[in-house]
Chains A and B, each alone.
Chain A
Amino acid sequence: MEIKVKVFANLRDLVPVKPALGEAIVLDMESNSTVLDVMKKINLSRNDVAIILINGVHHPPEHIIAEGTSISLFSPVGGG
């Protein structure tokens, strides 16, 4: 199944090919894959990722994703 993942902050420098700003990486995943499986596929460890958003809602790394899901991943960030 095809899914999309956008990576931000320090994660852009950790994935195999640095995507353009705001550009999604398109991945072909097995059905019943988790967010963690997606992270592994693009060389990200559990510790690299602090925030996982799917459709604007926080999810844990164990969340099972569906076909067509769009995920946004962030390294630890703060500001204000």
Chain B
Amino acid sequence: MLESEKKILRINMNDLSVKWEEVKDEWKHLGGRGLTSTIISEEVPALCEPLGPYNKLIIAPGLVTGSTAPSTGRLSVGAKSPLTNGIKEANAGGRTPQKLARAGVKAVIIEGHRKDKNKWYNIIIKKDNAEIVEANEYHNMGNYELIKQLWEKYGSKPGIIGSGIAGQMLLQGAGIFGNNVENSDPGRFAGRGGLGAVMGSKGIVAIITDDSDGGVIKPVNEEKFKSATAALKEALIEHPVTGKNGGLQNYGTNVLMNVLNEAGSLPAKNWTLGYVEHAVKISGEATHERIDLAVEKFGDQTNAQYAHACNPGCVMKCSMIVVDKDSGKEVLSPLEYESAWSLGNNTMIHTYEDVVELNRICNDIGLDTIEAGNALAVAMDAGALEFGDGPAAIKALKGVAEDTPMGRIIGSGAVTTGRVFGSNRVAHVKGQSMPAYDPRPIRGIGVTYATNPMGGDHTAGYTIAAEILGIKGEVTDPRAIDKAGLSRAFQETTAFLDSSGYCLFTAFAILDVDAGFAGLVDSYAAIMGEEFTVDDVTKFGRKILNLERAFNKAAGMTNADDRLPEFMKTEPLPPHNVVFDVTDEELDAVHNSL
């Protein structure tokens, strides 16, 4: 199947109808985030209530997703966010992205509200065939049990994504979960911005995708595609970060825990410390050691594994399977850096098993780990819980599914938690809490947090690659870098990558290896059979960013929303004892100078 043969699947919950539509000319060259943000800009009223009938949930695989190109199994999910009240794109791997593309789906648009709020539905998607089926028996079911039951019911090893209990409760910290390749864990999350609640507001428990009758996405220009993907694959495999036995395969994303901690930039104790000695206990190195020990102890009786792929065909394999140390049985896949940091270091919980349990609860009920960890840390800072008290945090988080007041508060995110408990120290931008890099010592990422359209988000412009990790040349003093220019360049490139379906982590290799970058861009051009060069990447990204910023403006946002919270400008972060000192003018220059 060619990319151009895919269709739009429009699902209307008002009358429970499904419709297959030809792709409009203006949408033809878009995929992933480029498409979700364009559809939202065209079809969602910017001032609509995010959990009301006029918001739409858009789900789109990347343009190259479903082809044979490496590391392209990514999905964009978009809507107006109930957390930020602005536009949102959240991105995930798992089984669904490639299956959706191969079932011939360019994007799913879910609109309207069901008439009967007591009815819940699943959506079953196959090639040229989609149906909405009643699913009350799955409402309020934990995600581990849910994917197990759906996997048995639908024999095709489908991709499954869904709203989770938190999303069905319409909590703003709810993400959209996805099953992993083995269907052993619902831990592949389009986590951020409360999109689980948008899906829940539509009355949808799960979307089940079966591509049995579909086919691989073929390029228009096969020869160009073949040489381009070979060049990219070589760059990914040869690079010391993304390649065999490299940092990502051996330690996962959580290899960053010790780097950021040693750099004095790892937020701890609700963003009051930049270094804590015990962070190492929940680092990627700790996971690696535990996996080695399990393999040594249990041999082939355990599935403990690092270098595990989050989507079929990924060559970087930064995921892993974490097992119980006494039984060797799988307990979590994966334990990501951001999750270990938010649920562990930021809460001062450094007992490995407690952090794994907190992450597993988030996966089971469908909560964004970053938002949940920040909410717990804010509650601790305000005295409602104790820092470092793992069992108390576990009880609080379990309270979401039990519908306790504390559970509802934590499940509603960090800003709501701060308001309830009277705390001003909430690390967020546009209502979305920040991830695992303190912007006081690392100012470029602070510029990204402040100015990207999504709120407190690191992936939208990952300046850390240059500021801390030394990708693209030598690491210099991060405080001396042109932050606005750096963040702008990363934001534009990212908007393109998120549209292509390529994993963002390809950037570690392609920013260092020019032939890899050219290969990635050429493969994108070859899929469409049209001219698209490296020079077009930032122009494309700029266009998407402009659309997203225009939506936010129409939703009521101004430059005043492109700011970090006050405490980051007044409370110095040890050990460097610096505040965030990028001026408002510099922040406004990121986008407005263009």
**Which residue of A12, A60, A79 is within 8 Å of B253 (Cβ)?**
A79
CB B298 to nearest CB in A, in angstroms, measures 21
Give Cα distance in the complex from A55 to B575, angstroms.
9
Contact A58 B475, beta carbon cutoff 8 Å: yes
Contact A9 B248, beta carbon cutoff 8 Å: no
Give Cα distance in the complex from A8 to B241, angstroms.
14
> What total of chain B residues lie within 8 Å of the partner, measured CB to CB?
54
**Which residue of A22, A50, A57, A80 is within 8 Å of B504 (Cβ)?**
A80
Closest residue on chain A to residue B316 by CB atoms: A78
Contact A56 B263, beta carbon cutoff 8 Å: yes
Write out the residue numbers on chain A whose beta carbons fall within 8 Å of the beta carbon of B468. Answer: 51
Whether A79 touches B247, Cβ cut-off 8 Å, given contacts A8-B258, A56-B275, is: yes
CB A9 to nearest CB in B, in angstroms, measures 6
Contact B253 A80, beta carbon cutoff 8 Å: yes
Whether A10 touches B280, Cβ cut-off 8 Å, given contacts A21-B285, A72-B262, A80-B459, is: no
Question: Which residues, 468 to 525 on B, are CB-close (under 8 Å) to A?
Answer: 468-471, 474-478, 504-505, 508
Write out the residue numbers on chain B whose beta carbons fall within 8 Å of the beta carbon of A10. Answer: 245, 247, 250
Whether A77 touches B477, Cβ cut-off 8 Å, given contacts A10-B250, A56-B575, is: no
B430 within 8 A of A: no
CB A65 to nearest CB in B, in angstroms, measures 16
B265 within 8 A of A: yes
Contact B477 A79, beta carbon cutoff 8 Å: no
Contact A78 B277, beta carbon cutoff 8 Å: no
* Range of interface residues on A (Cβ < 8 Å): 20 to 34
**Which residue of B255, B289, B318, B504 is within 8 Å of A21 (Cβ)?**
B289
CB B363 to nearest CB in A, in angstroms, measures 19
Contact B281 A21, beta carbon cutoff 8 Å: yes
**Which residue of A22, A60, A78 is within 8 Å of B469 (Cβ)?**
A78
Give Cα distance in the complex from A79 to B281, angstroms.
18
Give Cα distance in the complex from A77 to B462, angstroms.
14
Report B's interface with A, CB cutoff 8 A.
239-242, 245-248, 250-256, 258-259, 262-265, 274-275, 277, 280-281, 283-286, 289, 318, 337-338, 441, 458-459, 462, 464-465, 468-471, 474-478, 504-505, 508, 575-576
Report A's interface with B, CB cutoff 8 A.
6, 8-10, 12, 21-22, 50-51, 53, 55-58, 60, 72, 74-80
